[in-house]
Amino acid sequence: MQRDRLLVAEMIDAATRVVELVGERSAEDLEADDLRREAVFWNLTVLGEAASQVSAELKKSQTEVTWSDPVRLRNRLVHGYWSVEMEVVVATASDDLPPLVEQLRAIRELQPEE
């Protein structure tokens, strides 16, 4: 499905941007850099929004992807941004997103272009 392919591509782009924006920075570094922090938050929001719109069919066929994690993080950022723990954001960028990007790239390769 073309829509899923576009959503997966958007997820890859947003997650990759977060990883690049956070880089080797600490939670304190990210907290002190308003522009970078807001860019990270925006891309995590895009990631979660795209994940929420992926079809149920794709989610059922790709159960190794934790589709709900980006959605939950997006909801936390949108509805409780003032109390987000930067350590969680940094850990997500360094530990969780690189494997997610690899999973999503593999899924994109399986999807036919229409």
What is the count of structural domains for the chain? 1
The amino acid at 66: T
Q: Are 15 and 97 in contact (CB under 8 A)?
A: yes
Long-range CB contacts for residues 1-4, cutoff 8 Å, separation at least 24: 1/55, 1/57, 1/58, 1/111, 1/114, 2/114, 3/53, 3/55, 4/54, 4/55, 4/57, 4/58, 4/111
The whole-model pTM stands at 0.93
Q: Are 15 and 51 in contact (CB under 8 A)?
A: no
> Is residue 37 pLDDT above 90, yes or no?
yes
Q: Could you give the CA distance from residue 99 to residue 80 in angstroms, rounded to a whole number?
A: 26
Give the pLDDT confidence of 94-110 residue by residue, as tens digits.
999 999 999 999 999 88
Mean residue pLDDT of the chain comes to: 94
Residue scoring higher pLDDT (47 or 80): 47
What residues make up the domain containing 100? 2-110
